């Protein structure tokens, strides 16, 4: 729905068909003047209202010449006294909606947007948009399918390069809402589905063959359509804009529109395109230009990652939450840990489950993997458009895909994390979790000691232990202790030549009231801390130490178990190896301390300490029982204890709700 714009009412009045147009700010008036240059290709967009005339038919031959833009006069337009809320402008721009009233124009009856550029920088952006079209004259049809069409400009004189005169850019109108405004609607899902006219033919574009279904399925299907359209548009930029030395650098929800005419996503005008070719011939080397090109492509992919994050996780539409999200990435934290960072805020007001979290967790956490690849800290690690279009998260169930080894390894770890979070450890579930842990150890991507030294420092939260689990349900201990979070922190010692780490185990707990503890989990909070020094060295863990016949039979069964089905491609092994590379961890002396909010006497403190030791894996209280590390990557780690039990950790950064 359009809303009244004070700027439009104060600066321009709607002209009549008989009289001259009233001047806009900047002194631009309707004077008789013939348009110059090749005629612009007809707009494929129209106003969302029923009263707006249909656009003229497209001229496929337009734009083949050297100047695919038109110089208009203000008399060619009927300027409206209001603008749509979805039209996004800067502080140095004024936005108007208008209808082309020149019968000789191919745009006659079409709704267009007049963007009056006020400052020097704004005029420079407008001229840049015209230069982009000139460079892409022979690719206009593809460009206009995924970008907002620029029809021409209005200037008081014949010289478009004048800095002191007014400059108005004339571009297409693709509905009253930007993608940001669509997502802010309370009924955005059915409204966008109706706008895109989703039917079985439409959903086949993303590998699906059905419409409707649960809300999570419908949203995921819609996001796949929008993301694939957006990536195809960015892919066009990679192939053509970037090959001409240009990058968009202006990909935001406010600049993305959904056209109700051709059902495609339209990226905003390329007024902020950056020319990454050096203008100085002495400095314009092939290597430097190629480096700039890679940086700009990586920047565009990062922008696509922000758009995807806001589309899937509606909480990021809040500016304060999005600021924390960006701060997490700006500080250099690995995007692979985004789930751990955002989990508290996503589950805060969603007792039945957050829809965005469910979408990203589907298909073995494929959504989190794509988001991490789009937002990778190092530009050279970000995923390309082609690989993103092939990613499992953007491919429907009817498409056969061959995920990479990294994607399969990611899915394995994500599934283990979700199973550990369920906290219902039946016998079958414990067997399956132990199997997943062992398989991860076989597929460890960082077996070298140098990798461990680089990845190990940080804060790790204990998710699961394959050893025994003792809780409060079947016992009647006194006092009632609830274990909250258990962390293991590695900090490298700066003044040591050898790889020595300061190791700290922090066990959080609550002392609950004994009368109503099953229903009331409140109580006095406390922390048990164990500190030590750890030395890292190269080692190996042997899977089968015996050579007997029974051992060989067990080894054969184990190999078939690990190497069958989907894991065959990952391991590329015909049989399970006899040993795996690890890092040995040697501990020094330990210090134990405990703090609590309430005052405890010696006897009570001893009982609390004993109960903590009962419920906590022994390796977290006695760090000397940790003997080796068998798996590590940016977000997950597995350590083994002296009794063979595995400790499963996830990297924990500062929380979003802190």
> In this structure, is residue 472 part of a structural domain?
yes
- Provide the token pair at 33: 């003047």
The phi-psi region of residue 533 (left if phi > 0; otherwise alpha if psi is between -120 and 50; otherwise beta) is: beta
Mean pLDDT of all residues in 264-291: 62
Cα atoms found within 13 Å of the Cα of residue 59, Cβ hemisphere only: 15
pLDDT in tens, 594-647: 999 888 889 999 999 999 999 999 999 999 999 999 999 999 999 999 998 999
- Provide the token pair at 582: 């690890």
Pair type for strands 150-154 and 70-72: parallel
Collect contacts of 130-135 with beta carbons under 8 A, ≥24 apart: 130/69, 130/160, 132/241, 132/246, 132/270, 132/273, 133/63, 133/68, 133/69, 134/66, 134/67, 134/68, 134/69, 135/244, 135/246
Residue 109 clears pLDDT 60, i.e. is over it:
yes
> In this structure, is residue 403 part of a structural domain?
no
> In this structure, is residue 152 part of a structural domain?
yes
Distance CA 652, CA 261 (A): 46
Domain of residue 469, CATH code: 2.40.128
Residues 6+ apart with CB under 8 A from 643: 467, 618, 625
Domain of residue 122, CATH code: 3.30.200.20
> In this structure, is residue 290 part of a structural domain?
no
Q: Which of 158, 173, 188 is the last residue of a domain?
A: 173
> In this structure, is residue 113 part of a structural domain?
yes
* pLDDT score for 235: 76
> In this structure, is residue 636 part of a structural domain?
yes
- Provide the token pair at 332: 């250099």
Q: Which of 173, 194, 217 is the last residue of a domain?
A: 173
Mean pLDDT of all residues in 389-413: 89
> In this structure, is residue 333 part of a structural domain?
no
Domain of 151, in residue numbers: 67-173
pLDDT in tens, 413-468: 999 999 998 766 678 888 889 889 988 998 899 999 999 999 999 999 999 999 88
> In this structure, is residue 642 part of a structural domain?
yes
Assign 66 to helix, strand or coil.
coil
Q: Which of 156, 173, 190 is the last residue of a domain?
A: 173
Number of domains in the chain: 2
């Amino acid at each position: 729905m359009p809303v009244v714009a004070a700027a439009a009412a104060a600066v321009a009045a709607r002209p009549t068909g008989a009289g001259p147009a009233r001047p806009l700010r900047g002194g631009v008036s309707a004077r008789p003047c013939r348009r110059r240059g090749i005629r612009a290709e007809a707009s494929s967009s129209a106003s969302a209202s029923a009263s707006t005339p249909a656009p003229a038919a497209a001229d496929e031959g337009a734009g083949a010449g050297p100047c695919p833009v038109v110089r208009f006069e203000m008399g060619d337009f009927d300027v409206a006294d209001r603008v749509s809320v979805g039209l996004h402008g800067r502080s140095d721009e004024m936005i108007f909606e208008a209808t082309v009233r020149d019968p000789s124009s191919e745009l006659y009856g079409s709704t267009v947007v007049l963007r009056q550029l006020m400052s020097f920088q704004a005029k420079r952006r407008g001229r840049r948009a015209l230069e982009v079209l000139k460079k892409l004259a022979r690719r206009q049809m593809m460009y206009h399918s995924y970008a907002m069409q620029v029809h021409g400009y209005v200037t008081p004189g014949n010289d478009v390069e004048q800095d002191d005169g007014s400059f108005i850019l004339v571009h297409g109108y693709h509905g009253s809402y930007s993608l940001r405004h669509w997502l802010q609607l309370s009924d955005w899902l059915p409204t966008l589905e109706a706008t895109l006219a989703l039917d079985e033919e439409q959903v086949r574009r993303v590998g699906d063959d059905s419409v409707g279904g649960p809300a999570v399925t419908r949203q995921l299907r819609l996001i796949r359509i929008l993301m694939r359209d957006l990536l195809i548009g960015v892919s066009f930029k990679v192939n053509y804009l970037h090959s001409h030395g240009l990058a968009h650098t202006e990909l935001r929800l406010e600049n993305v529109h959904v056209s109700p005419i051709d059902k495609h996503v339209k990226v905003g005008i390329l007024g902020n395109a950056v020319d990454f070719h050096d203008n100085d011939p002495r400095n314009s080397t092939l290597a430097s230009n190629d480096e700039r090109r890679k940086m700009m492509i990586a920047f565009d992919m990062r922008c696509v990652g922000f758009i995807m994050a806001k589309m899937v996780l509606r909480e990021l539409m809040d500016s304060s939450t999005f600021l924390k999200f960006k701060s997490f990435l700006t500080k250099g934290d690995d995007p692979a840990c985004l789930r751990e960072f955002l989990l508290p805020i996503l589950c805060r007001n969603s007792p039945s489950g957050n829809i965005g979290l469910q979408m990203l967790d589907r298909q073995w956490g494929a959504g989190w993997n794509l988001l991490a690849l789009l937002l990778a800290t190092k530009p050279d690690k970000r995923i390309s458009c082609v690989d993103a279009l092939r990613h499992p998260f953007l491919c429907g169930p009817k498409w056969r895909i061959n995920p990479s080894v990294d994607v399969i390894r990611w899915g394995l770890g994500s599934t283990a994390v979700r199973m550990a979070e369920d906290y219902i450890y039946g016998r079958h579930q414990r067997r399956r979790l132990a199997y997943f842990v062992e398989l991860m150890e076989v597929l460890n991507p960082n077996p070298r000691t140098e990798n461990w030294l680089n990845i190990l420092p940080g804060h790790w939260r204990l998710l699961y232990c394959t050893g025994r689990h003792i809780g409060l349900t079947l016992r009647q201990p006194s006092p009632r202790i609830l274990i909250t979070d258990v962390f293991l922190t590695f900090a490298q010692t700066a003044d040591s030549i050898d790889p020595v780490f300061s190791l700290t185990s922090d066990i959080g707990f609550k002392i609950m009231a004994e009368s109503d503890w099953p229903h009331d989990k409140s109580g006095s909070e406390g922390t048990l801390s164990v500190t030590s020094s750890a030395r890292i060295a190269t080692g190996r863990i042997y899977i089968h130490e015996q050579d007997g016949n029974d051992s060989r039979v067990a080894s054969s069964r184990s190999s078939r178990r690990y190497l069958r089905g989907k894991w065959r491609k990952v391991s590329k092994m015909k049989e399970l190896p006899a040993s795996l590379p690890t890092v040995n961890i040697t501990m020094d002396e330990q210090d134990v301390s405990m703090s609590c909010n309430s005052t405890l006497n010696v006897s009570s403190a001893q009982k609390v300490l004993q109960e903590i030791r009962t419920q906590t894996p022994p390796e977290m209280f006695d760090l000397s029982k940790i003997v080796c590390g068998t798996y590590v990557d940016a977000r997950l780690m597995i350590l083994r204890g002296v009794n063979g039990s595995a400790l499963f950790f996830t990297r924990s950064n500062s929380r979003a709700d802190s």
